[in-house]
Amino acid sequence: MSSIWCRFRQCDPDLDVQEGKEKKMMKVTKCPSEDLSLTNCVIVNENDFTQKIKHVSVMANAQKFIFTVRIDPRVKQGQMGFNAIQRKQAQLTLDMDIRVEPYIHDPKQQLIGTVVFEADFLQKKHATSDSYNTDQMAMAFLEQFTCHGFTVGQPLVFKFQDKKTLSLTVKEIEAADPEAMASGKKTEPRKIEFGVLERNGNIIFEKAENSMLILTGKAKARTAHTSLFSADWDFQKMGIGGLDEQFIHILRRAFASRVFPTEVVEQLGVKHVKGILLYGPPGTGKTLMARQIGKMLNAREPKIVNGPEILDKYVGESEANVRRLFAEAEEEEKRMGTNSGLHIIIFDEIDAICKQRGSVAGNTGVNDTVVNQLLSKIDGVEQLNNILVIGMTNRKDMIDEALLRPGRLEIQVEIGLPDEQGRFDILKIKTARMRDHGKLGDDVNLLELAALTKNFSGAELEGLVKASSSSALKRFIHLGNKIEVDPDAVDKLKISRSDFIYSLENDVKPSLGTSDEALDKFIEQGIINWGPTKEILEKGMMFVKQARSPETRNRLCLLIEGAPSAGTSALAAYLAKNSDFPFIKVINSREMVGYSEAAKCMRISRTFDDAYRSELSCIFMNDLEQLMGYSPIGPRYQSVVLEAFYSLLSSSPPQGRKLMVICTSKRRSVLEELGLLACFTAIIRVPYIRHLEDIKLVLDESHALTSDEVETVMRHLSRGNTFVGVKKLLGLLDTMRVMKGVDSRKRVLALTNLLEDEGIYTPEVELS
């Protein structure tokens, strides 16, 4: 016999006893004491059942119940004492007649290996926030109830230490095989309805549904875990296009620990992620993603608050507003502990209340105290583990660094501009209803539109769809003395490809797109291919191709330098416009007249930050000397702006981004003296016009003079030396256009005089 079998026989030494097997009629009575009620046994007199009878079968209301027997002289002969829980289970009333007989179980088939109890407070109104250690509970339970019989569905009372009394319900029983356990063989678990608990039985406690009981320790059922995600959640129906990668990253980092039961996380010794920061340019879907995260989770209704709403003019109210946001989560954490639900707080424009401490002028210090209050609530001494704070901002650089460290807003996800596949997904979502109702034309190719909408944000793509709809609706509106709508518009209306193209060209432009108007101002006179111009443009386009190549560095800085009026700005603008980069911005000193050094640096730095959001971007910085405020008298310059140039021209964009910077300069020697030339990958010089054939080429292509006038001018110029910038020459030729209708000889004389007055043309002196 195995040791397990022998120990079991010690609990019930005379299993073969058949005496007292006859059925008896007995009357129901109360347990004689509270202590006996906590034993979960039925109490009988020794004259009714001997010590050898351990369990009895009770027939009541046409149902059979099995109870463990305990003898006490305080119960009269012919009566059986039940506690209130047992009477409720069997629907017994006092003095009710019941039929009772001894129950002899089969030790080979009805030995408990594992029993699962569903636990709750016996009196729910007296629930406490004290935690119950299930490992200690299991040991105490075995000490009290070894050799007791249990039936699936049976209710019990359990007094554990000095804590509140618990109500237990037998949820599941698995049988143990003594012979297999003795030999070390593994067997499949077998479910049984009734069994007797032995010393080496396995006890598992599971919190009842909606119970406020807090269970800790390892003796907990792993199945008692509420799913974090809503049952009807479907990723495909969320309406978030182009953000699959970011969404998966958030799920992996923020919710991986919350998906598993609490005991798994306790074994790892880690804490849940409590903060996420979504940052990126406006209109890219930050708010939409935050709202959808709140919807998909099986959590409390998210609290959505705009950053500026926290601030209050009264002293202390701003901090109180922060505390109110967390009050509900704090109360539930104290009441339910680890069983508390997840509370989501969403801060839109979080940079409004979480600026760098010490950066806001004034004596009140409200901004600093609000940041301190928020930090203490997320990760302070009494930190909460049932919250998830989601912050959104367009300006991550303005947020206090302490808020971004691990334990606070530790997951920072950039919600950038969608790529081509992302734009296709967004357009597909935004045109879904049109397509379902047959209002989208057959000639509309969403793949084509996705290719044409480089650097469009999600909001701008939605704006494109709206504008295209307006363009289509306009065809059915007739303007006359009164506005009339085509009565057949409902049947005829279809949004066609031409509506989208029209809206692309006229209505909707990406905020992070190209500055076409600014570039056109630099090349409004066109590019004339005189002499070295063709070679300069070929060399410049070679660098543009190099900047696009995936095999080269992420940053390429090109300097185009030449004397004033040599045409450096026009050539640089031409290269930028023909680079076909989706993001092209112009930094021009004319737009910063009156700016302080700090404001100028911020404007330039913001342009670079915007460029880093695009996969491929180009920045055209015109006239570096003027941008840094250089003055030849002194000389003087703005050192803060110069330091910004050092930093921005030398630093590389983020991984996966490519940036080309095209700069112009009229004073190469100044840049060399200041040490800026080392920041450039290549330098291209634009010379003045020196040769007559180049001047003739410019005169011919400008069409400001007739061919005869050009020949006459060339004869005059051949008598001296010419040294002129192409921009200056084109400006003088504009004067000739004004003199149309004037005698040809006067026009030629006027041009040569202008050239001589400007010092561009020097006639040779004839010696007599």
pLDDT tens readout for residues 334-377: 766 666 778 888 888 888 888 777 665 554 556 778 888 888 88
pLDDT of residue 13: 40
* Phi and psi at residue 300, to the nearest 5°: -65, 160
Report in angstroms the alpha-carbon separations of 313 from 186, 238, 310, 400, 473.
71, 39, 10, 22, 48
pLDDT of residue 262: 65
State mean pLDDT over 460-482: 83
Residue 230 pLDDT grade (very low, low, confident, very high; cuts 50, 70, 90): low
d(CA 274, CA 390): 9
With H, G, I as helix, E, B as strand and everything else as coil, classify residue 449. helix
State mean pLDDT over 571-597: 88
pLDDT of residue 185: 65
State mean pLDDT over 751-760: 72
With H, G, I as helix, E, B as strand and everything else as coil, classify residue 753. helix
Q: Residues 649, 679: contact at Cβ < 8 Å?
A: yes
d(CA 685, CA 374): 56
Is residue 8 scored above 60 in pLDDT? no
3-state helix, strand, coil in the chain (%, to 5): 40, 20, 40
pLDDT > 70 fraction of the chain, expressed in percent and rounded: 87
Is residue 550 scored above 70 in pLDDT? yes
Q: Pick the closest to residue 371 from 344, 349, 351 (CA basis).
A: 351
Is residue 227 scored above 60 in pLDDT? no
- Residue whose token pair is 């289509």: 472
Residue 7 pLDDT grade (very low, low, confident, very high; cuts 50, 70, 90): very low
d(CA 115, CA 158): 15
d(CA 632, CA 436): 68
pLDDT of residue 74: 93
Q: Residues 615, 548: contact at Cβ < 8 Å?
A: no
Q: At what angle do helices 366-379 and 317-336 cross, to 10 degrees?
A: 10
State mean pLDDT over 476-504: 80
State mean pLDDT over 147-160: 91
What one-character DSSP code corresponds to residue 232? T
What one-character DSSP code corresponds to residue 98? E
* Phi and psi at residue 550, to the nearest 5°: -70, -10
Is residue 497 scored above 80 in pLDDT? yes
| C-alpha atoms less than 13 angstroms from C-alpha of 762 in its C-beta half-sphere | 6
Pairing status of strand 194-196 against strand 149-151: antiparallel
**Per-residue pLDDT tens over the stretch 415-461:** 888 888 888 888 888 888 888 888 888 898 999 998 888 888 888 88
- 5-19, 24-38, 151-165, 221-235: the lowest-pLDDT one: 5-19
Q: Pick the closest to residue 193 from 215, 220, 213, 170 (CA basis).
A: 170
pLDDT of residue 768: 31
In DSSP terms, which residues pair with 98 in a beta bridge?
Answer: 26
Residue 20 pLDDT grade (very low, low, confident, very high; cuts 50, 70, 90): very low
Name the helix (H) or strand (E) containing 699.
Answer: helix 692-702
Q: Residues 571, 558: contact at Cβ < 8 Å?
A: no
Is residue 542 scored above 90 in pLDDT? yes
Q: Pick the closest to residue 242 from 426, 413, 392 (CA basis).
A: 426
With H, G, I as helix, E, B as strand and everything else as coil, classify residue 207. strand
State mean pLDDT over 126-134: 80
State mean pLDDT over 496-500: 90
Is residue 489 scored above 90 in pLDDT? no
Q: For residue 711, give both structure tokens.
A: 């020949």
d(CA 328, CA 384): 11
d(CA 659, CA 648): 11
pLDDT of residue 575: 92
**Per-residue pLDDT tens over the stretch 683-711:** 999 988 888 888 888 888 888 888 888 88
Q: Which residue has the higher pLDDT, 93 or 474?
A: 93
Q: For residue 729, give both structure tokens.
A: 């020459």
State mean pLDDT over 496-510: 88
Q: For residue 41, give both structure tokens.
A: 């046994």
pLDDT of residue 126: 75
Name the helix (H) or strand (E) containing 27.
Answer: strand 24-30
Residue 16 pLDDT grade (very low, low, confident, very high; cuts 50, 70, 90): very low
- Residue 171: count of CB within 10 angstroms of its CB: 20
pLDDT of residue 2: 33
In DSSP terms, which residues pair with 588 in a beta bridge?
Answer: 622
State mean pLDDT over 672-692: 88
pLDDT of residue 660: 93
- Residue whose token pair is 């495909």: 236
Q: Give the contacts of 315 (CB within 8 A, at least 6 positions apart).
A: 364
Q: Which domains does the chain have, with CATH numbers?
A: 19-102 (2.40.40.20), 112-149+156-216 (3.10.330.10), 235-414 (3.40.50.300), 420-506 (1.10.8.60), 516-686 (3.40.50.300), 692-763 (no CATH)
State mean pLDDT over 241-270: 73
Q: How far apart are the first and last CA of the chain?
A: 143
Report in angstroms the alpha-carbon separations of 226 from 196, 263, 388.
31, 13, 17
Q: List own/partner pairs for 226-231 with CB under 8 A and 24 or more apart.
A: 226/298, 227/298, 228/255, 228/258, 228/259, 228/297, 228/298, 228/299, 228/342, 229/296, 229/297, 229/298, 230/295, 230/296, 230/297, 230/298, 231/298
pLDDT of residue 53: 86
> Sign of dihedral through CA atoms 294, 300, 305, 310?
negative
Name the helix (H) or strand (E) containing 736.
Answer: helix 726-738
Is residue 157 scored above 90 in pLDDT? yes
Residue 759 pLDDT grade (very low, low, confident, very high; cuts 50, 70, 90): low
* Helices marked H in 151-229: 178-183
Is residue 222 scored above 70 in pLDDT? no
Does pTM surpass 0.75?
A: no
pLDDT of residue 233: 56
Q: Pick the closest to residue 366 from 279, 308, 410, 304 (CA basis).
A: 308
Residue 238 pLDDT grade (very low, low, confident, very high; cuts 50, 70, 90): low
Buried b (16+ CB within 10 A) or exposed e, 197-215: bbeebebbbbbbeebbbbb
Buried b (16+ CB within 10 A) or exposed e, 663-683: bbbbbbebbeebebbebbbee
State mean pLDDT over 247-270: 73
